[in-house]
Amino acid sequence: MADLHVRSVLVTGANRGIGLGFVQQFLQMPKPPEWVFAACRDPKGQRAQELQNLASRHPNVVIIQLDVADPSSIKAAAARVEEQLEGSGLNLLINNAAIAKMTTLDGETLEDMIQVYTTNTAGPLLLGQAFLPLLKKAAQGSPGSALSCSKAAIINISSSAGSIASPLGWDKMQVVSYRCSKAALNMLTKCQSLGYREHGILCVALNPGWVQTEMGSSSGDMAPVTVDTSVQGMLKVLSSLSEKDTSTFLNWKGNVLPW
């Protein structure tokens, strides 16, 4: 993690689980980011209480109201971040916010598919578009031409459930709409890497593992990985990413996963 130096980072779904874990770990770095933009749907709600407490103790934490399923909310969040950055760019966009519907293959509905895709796939697409000017500005303001997370990057938090080649956990949770949305997110990552490479932006899909979060416990079984372990692992991976890694699908230990 020592090599990850970012002036600014935005994390979606930052009020709990992995998103909150990212905020906490960024703040514990020897040299924390100057700005940690913690985005969530309801910043003043009860489920954001821990995030509110963090922000009250750390002036570099800026809570941003953001519903990733709402294009107008995304545009407003981008404008708010741009205002706070005062002419500098955004180094790191972590698309973490996601939802899952605990249904079977036969129980999936059009409404479920649309809702899950909107949050898990379309949201990261629109966020990439909205924050592209700030990411480009960060890339242009960084020395050298090599891609890295310290320069400018989009990190899409995916899942092993999105791997077509290795559909792990089917016997525990079918969650078809979630699986499909994460497979589509992986393709979006590939597309973003192709489209944004010329701007100096690295793009990677990252699987956090089976983590002890509200979503991770939905199967009724105890997930084997804690939030802290997962996030610390992912940050270590981010610190090591380079030109050769853009457009890849990795897990929290840095291993390449099958598409």
Q: Are strands 8-11 and 153-157 parallel, antiparallel or unpaired?
A: unpaired
Residue 21 neighbours by CB under 8 Å, 6+ apart: 227, 228, 230, 231
Q: Which among 77, 83, 101 is positioned nearest to 13, based on CA atoms? A: 77
Cα-Cα end-to-end distance for the chain = 26
CB of 150 closer than 8 Å to CB of 3: yes
- Of 9-23, 120-134, 159-173, the poorest mean pLDDT is in 159-173
For residue 190, count other CB atoms closer than 10 A to its CB: 17
Instruction: Name the residue ranges covered by the structural domains of the chain.
Output: 8-251
Q: Is 46 helix (H, G, I), strand (E, B) or coil?
A: helix
Question: Does the pLDDT at position 216 exceed 60?
Answer: no
Total-model pTM: 0.95
Considering the chain, what percentage of its residues have pLDDT values greater than 90? 88
pLDDT for res 197: 97
Question: Does the pLDDT at position 1 exceed 50?
Answer: no
pLDDT, tens digit (0-9, with 9 covering 90-100), for 135-150: 999 999 988 889 999 9
Q: Residue type at 92?
A: L
CB of 35 closer than 8 Å to CB of 60: yes
pLDDT for res 169: 82
Cα–Cα distance, 98 to 95 (Å, whole number)? 9
Q: What top-level class would CATH report for the domain 8-251?
A: alpha beta
pLDDT for res 210: 85
* Per-residue tokens: 259: 């598409």
* Per-residue tokens: 159: 């899942």
The alpha helices in the chain, defined as continuous H runs, are 17-27, 49-57, 71-85, 110-117, 123-140, 176-196, 227-240
Q: Which among 55, 64, 66 is positioned nearest to 27, based on CA atoms? A: 55
